[in-house]
Structures are given as C-alpha cells and as structure tokens.
Amino acid sequence: MKRWEGMWAVAVVGFWAALTPVAHAQTEECLDLNGDGVEDTVVVSGDTVTIAGGGTTRVYSPGAWNLMLPLEMDGAPGCELLFIQDGSAAVVTHRTLSTDSYNVGAWYGAGFADLDGQPGDELYVSGGFNITVVTQRDRTSKVYPVGTWSVLAALDLDGQPGRELYVIDGPRLRVISHATQSWWTYDAGPWTSVQPVETDGNAGEELVFTEGDNVRIFSLLDRGFREYTVGGWNDMSHYQQDGLPGEELVFAVGGRIFVINDARRETYSL
C-alpha cells in the first residue's frame, strides 16, 4: 500500500501550481521508486525523506526543499523523486541510493517533458534570463539564454523524437531543440493570442498567432512564418475540413465562414 506522510499533500498542490504548463501527465501514482514493481513508502520529516521498500530503508536529505514530485526521469525502472527550491533542484534515485543536485537559478516557471527523444523526462526551469534543462539520465544540465518571456511551453514542433521548448517575449519567439542543443529566435510581430495547431499536414505542430485581421503561422520545419489576412472575424476554430492531412483554421466573419487551408496555402469562404 502506498503511503505518503508529512508535507506531501501541500507539496503536490504547490508543485502543480508552479509547473505551468505541464507538458504531459506524470502523476502521484508513480510510487515504485526502486524499480521492483511494488509501491514504496515515503515518510517526510522536515527536510529529510525516508524511503522504505524492497527490503531497503534509506534516509535522504535533499536540502530545504518546498516542492516534491515523483517523476520518471532516467528511463530505468522505478521513478525518481524530484525536489525543487529557489536556486536548486535535487533528484533522489532510490534504485541506486543516490542524490544528484543541480543549480537551476531563481526560477519563475518550470515543467517536465521528453525533450531529447531518449527515455525519461527532462526538467526545464526558467530562472532569470535563462532556461536550465536537467537530464537525469546522464546527470547533466544545460543552460539556454532566452531573455524574458510571457509564454513558456513544450511542444513537438518538428515531428522528431523529443519536444521543443518555445518561449514568447513580446514580438520575439524563441525555440529550443534540446535534442540537438540548438536554439533560434524569430520576429513574431504583434499578437493577441497564440495556439498550437497542426495546419500543414507535416509532422509536428505549428504555432498560430493572431492579432487583429492578421494570422501568422509559424513552422519550425520551414524556419519561418506564413501570413494570412482575415477581415473582421469574431470567432476562430480549427478542425479537419477537407479530408487531407492538416487542420484548417475556420473563422466566423459576419455571416460568412472564412477558411485558411495552410496545407494548400490558400484561403476561401464557405
């Protein structure tokens, strides 16, 4: 039977609020920490954490943490316990009875996702003007300079293994490929909303920026934007409308329906 004691309930609420947005689901049910297929017992007392399971009990001291979450980070059997506080993160691997610490800076936003296409999720943390990516599988961290930002998320933008991080700061769009350890900066122009949609029928999603009558679709595969103009629209949706790969953007324009078919690079009214 699983058993979490001490600050666990508080930690879960705090961590999920802080990790925004979360790229995909890992949950508090990930309680097999030594890889034997049996849920372990975790007891929290102050800054120490005791894990018991598989005939082994071990006390860990990850530091003065205030947030804790079990995650699959290294691709090996069993989950790791991730601890985070302002300036640092610690990963407890009970399978090997070890703790690894990382400097992540004063963090403002964070999340976890498979960023390199290899087994296990990476932790990404925004602190100051940088994003730090922690890869527990090989116990490394890498810092990417991004400046300030208003949007930070992980998304598959190129159809290749591993998600990309994208950061939006005013008119600037920055994209990080941790799988290739590359990053790019683009001028997105003024915008009022942005959402991911697979519009062109190729692997990976596009980012759809809207502002007034202007629609700009960013494709990482094409390393740039495609621009469209939609006059006086008041509602936008997207769905598969022509039966071919890629979703169409559908706008309500007065009493008409206006469609952007990005796969064919054309617009029309219904």
Angle at 208 between CA 207 and CA 214, to 5 degrees: 145
Rounded distance, CA 182 to CA 218, Å? 17
pLDDT in tens, 115-147: 999 999 999 998 778 999 999 999 999 999 998
Query: What pLDDT was estimated at residue 3?
Result: 37
Please compute the mean of the pLDDT values over residues 189-202 and round it to a whole number. 96
Rounded distance, CA 227 to CA 8, Å? 48
Rounded distance, CA 154 to CA 251, Å? 27
Burial label for 78, CB within 10 Å (0-12, 13-18, 19+), is: buried
pLDDT in tens, 232-269: 898 899 999 899 999 999 999 988 999 999 999 999 99
